[in-house]
Amino acid sequence: MTKEITVPKGKDYVSISASGHKYISVIDANGNQIFRSNSPAETVTAALGPGSYTVDTDGKLGKIDYGSLDERHRAGRPMDANSPPPQRT
């Protein structure tokens, strides 16, 4: 089953409900798979920017909700995979 969705401006993630599935994937407007879950969980959440996407699954899609992250979680932090994470005090 596939469904076209549009993530509105100001929203940062999509919550997808599905049943009877082995996978759920999200495909961008260019045809690239940008999210995939191989979990049979009833709901999965994908961080997506505003835009048009296709949700694909081998099961039945249910409700799709859009949400916004807290401001403190929006800003990315530089990451260096060659260094250990900073120590918390």
The Cα–Cα gap between 89 and 78 comes to 20
pLDDT at 58: 96
pLDDT at 89: 64
pLDDT at 24: 97
What does pLDDT average to in each consecutive run of 10 residues of the chain (89 residues)? 95 95 96 95 93 96 92 64 69
Domain residue ranges in the chain: 2-68
The model's pTM is: 0.77
Residues contacting 17, CB < 8 A, separation 6+: 42, 43, 61, 62, 63, 64
